[in-house]
Chains A and B, each alone.
Chain A
Amino acid sequence: MNKLKLNSSSITFLQILVCIPIAYELFINFHIGGIELFKEFIISAFNPKINNEIIFTLVKRLNETIFIAFFSWLISIIFGVIFGILSSEIFYKILNLPIFLKRFLNLFLTFIRSIHEIIWGLILLQIYGINFSIGIIAICIPYVAINAKVFSEQIENINLKTIESIKQINGIKSSTLITLVWAPVIETFKNFGLYRLECAIRSTAVLGLFGIGGIGTSIFLSFQTLNFRELWTYLWGLAFLIIISKKLLKRFNLSNTSKNFLTSFVIALFCISLFSLSFFVYFIFNKNAIPFNSINNLLISNFNFISYDFLKLLLETIVLCLLSTGIAISFPPIFILILNNKIGITIIRIISFLFRLIPPPVLILLLLMFNDPSISLAAITLGLHNAAITSKLLLANLHNQDNKQYIAMKSLGVAKRSSWLFGLFVKQSKSYLAYCAYRSEIIIRETAILGVIGGVGLGWQLQESLSSFAWEEVLVILFAYSSIAIIGELINGKIKSNLT
């Protein structure tokens, strides 16, 4: 009997098997109690509420969102670059510093990165109460670490021989360092940094759902009052903001800017770095931290929390990650394969845009109209949101790919879908899976958001523990989250290195 041989394409499609347990659980938990509400939600998308009051609130909330998103993006990029350089080997080679400092810093950044901005936001909310700055700081903390990782990976790609040649000129160490890291930093900023603004806008919206301010707060309030027309006004406003920011950033080209502008830009960056650093220090040592003292309890508390329930929640979180990742990987290629024509692709684009636009907490609340809370419901929500992101990337890569093989296969009379599969997708499958491996790291972090809303996994327990100021429990949960994320990151690192 022939052995089953798996390749990257078959692995991509086989992930669809996760739908069997999900569909079973969703079917069991299905109810039609919210069908009228859902109908109203869909109809409202085409009939958003527009009046002076709503427009005024929308503009105000968008302003807040822009403010939080832009500053958190800018600060996280600046400090991401700084920490990216500090956590790359080249820094220690040029400055002749001991390499263990790098490992220590990397460990610290991995911990910071592994905890979602929502969790940081909730913790800061509990410590400092509602405060406008919390949104910025909550986004900045993990974003700095994420950006640092990306920048550091690109800096590590600098050719060793180029490093030697510049070192051999024997300039001062800071000049040598900046000369070497400049190009990869600028390149990464263009390819990745600008995209992070879109991420910051989404994160601001999600944080808003938890009362931190911005458009998310209005979205959540409208949802709570079931005012779907108002909700769609805010959602379209958010879509408009994302599209405009993307268009504006595409026009921004560092190499074509005038010298005066560039100099002013650098001075502005420097001032913002100083300002944000001083603001951060002020914020941390501000006396508003009302219940922060209760963290002292940690020192005297006994960790009774590690029990059967905790392990169950931990397992739920891991299962949630696996199921969501399966959906995020398999849905885009399967739907592109099935709807493989112009109209079909347009439909996929529109639907994936909507799934990217609607924040996962709102999406799960919508799905709760038909279903009871369960891991499957959380998995389908998180999976669909991330599938919308992976589908965008897959469609863009397929579009940019050389299609000679596809045309050749079609001219030989091979069916359109088979030609697409073997002529186009096979070439993309490895890089697509590598990206999905990176995406799964984000999914691990995002389980926290759905946990808080959907009542599954550690996220739910975190919300409970935070509400009761049980800091010892919070610490255990953070440690658990961090461990899952770090293990996930290590596994994905192996997968990515095998695929690329």
Chain B
Amino acid sequence: MINPLLELKEVSYKNKNNFTLNKLSLRIKSGEKIALLGKSGAGKTTLISILNGTLKPNKGRVKLFNTEFDKLNLYQKSKISTIWQDLRLIEDLSAEQNVNCGLLGKQSFLFAFKNLLNISSFNKAHQYMQVCNLKKSIFSKNIRKISGGQKQRVAIARSLIQESDILLADEPFNNLDPKLTSNIKNLLLITKNKNKIKVPNTTLISLHRLDLLDGFNRIIGMKNGEILFDLEKTKLKKYHLNKIY
């Protein structure tokens, strides 16, 4: 049996607002393209936060590369990148500085310092920003001064530049028009791309729009903090969706 990249075992979590995840178990293998479906408040964001180690479960185990999350070193942890639903960019920095922040896991302190002083190299950041359909004119603009769709793509570029193995994305197509949605979806799901940039081989994306399910090979449905179904894309039927919506 192939070892999973990321594994949840009987994970339970309860937050201050009494929202709970109940004994979730999940195995994510290399190369999987997973769509995470569910209504707002179903627990998708909480699940993603547990998968990337931001939230610690009250019970159960989270393993990455078959190692307990707490025992991982920074290099191993940096193999996961996340696109947050609320983007979580640094408001006072420029778009290119924000994208460069994605390189913090691989670079020294001097790089971080030079990035803040605006004297570091932005070549790689620009490459990823262009791939995310961002125009050159916004590269050096302050993040406060760009539109919601542009911010969304800056956040995507920041996570892609990490060149991680696993990408966790929480509703990454918000704020994007249909054409951009299609482009970005293809970018996130197709590993070999013409842009010669490394895109994570394994992806878990939370979605609301069912018309975007093409390209995924596994679908997970959540409701009230529980996984109601977890199946291959080809086996998804309408009644599965009725369960969660």
Contacts and interface: CB of A to CB of B under 8 A. Distances in A.
Given A161-B86, A179-B90, A187-B92, A171 B117 contact: no
Contacts of B107: 171, 175
Nearest to B116: A182
B62 to A, nearest CB: 14
Contacts of B102: 169
A172 B119 contact: no
B98 to A, nearest CB: 10
A184 B91 CA distance: 10
Interface in A137-190: 159, 161-162, 164-172, 174-176, 178-180, 182-184, 186-187
Given A165-B84, A168-B52, A262-B117, A183 B92 contact: yes
B151 to A, nearest CB: 13
A186 B92 contact: yes
A171 B82 contact: no
A59 interface: no
Contacts of A266: 117
Given A165-B88, A169-B162, A176 B53 contact: no
Contacts of A164: 54, 88
Contacts of A167: 54
A263 interface: yes
B90 A172 contact: no
A161 B119 CA distance: 27
Interface in A329-375: none
A170 B117 contact: no
Nearest to A160: B88
Nearest to B76: A170
18 contacts: A168-B82, A169-B81, A169-B104, A170-B78, A172-B74, A174-B112, A175-B104, A175-B111, A176-B112, A178-B109, A178-B112, A179-B90, A179-B112, A179-B116, A183-B93, A187-B92, A259-B118, A262-B118
B245 interface: no
Given A171-B112, A180-B90, A166 B104 contact: yes
Contacts of A179: 90, 101, 104, 112, 115-116
A268 to B, nearest CB: 14
Contact of A168 (B53, B89, B109, B115): B53
A170 B74 contact: yes
A175 B84 contact: no
B118 A169 contact: no
A183 B84 contact: no
Interface of B: 52-54, 74-75, 77-78, 80-82, 84, 86, 88-93, 101-102, 104-109, 111-113, 115-119, 162
B112 A263 contact: no
A274 to B, nearest CB: 17
A259 B119 contact: yes
Contacts of A176: 104, 112
Contacts of A259: 117-119
Q: Chain B interface secondary structure, helix, strand, loop or mixed? A: loop
B105 A171 contact: yes
Contacts of A170: 74-75, 77-78, 104-105
A162 B78 CA distance: 17
A238 B79 CA distance: 59
Nearest to A175: B112
Nearest to B55: A164
A110 to B, nearest CB: 29
Contacts of B74: 170-172
A262 B119 contact: yes
A168 B109 CA distance: 16
Interface string A252-285: 0000000100110010000000000000000000
B88 A162 contact: yes
Given A174-B109, A178-B112, A259-B118, 6 more contacts: A166-B90, A166-B101, A170-B105, A171-B112, A175-B104, A179-B115
Name the residue among A172, A259, A266 with the largest chain B CB count within 10 angstroms. A172
A170 B77 CA distance: 6
Interface string A445-472: 0000000000000000000000000000
A166 to B, nearest CB: 6
B72 to A, nearest CB: 9
A166 B82 CA distance: 10
A179 B86 CA distance: 19
Nearest to B168: A168
Contacts of B88: 159, 161-162, 164-166
A165 B82 contact: yes
Contacts of A161: 84, 86, 88
B82 to A, nearest CB: 6
B167 to A, nearest CB: 12
A167 B108 CA distance: 15
Contacts of A180: 90
A288 to B, nearest CB: 39
A169 B117 contact: no
Nearest to A186: B92
Q: Which 3 A-B pairs have the closest CB atoms?
A: A171-B104, A183-B92, A165-B88
A157 to B, nearest CB: 11
A263 B110 CA distance: 12
Nearest to A174: B109
A448 B65 CA distance: 64
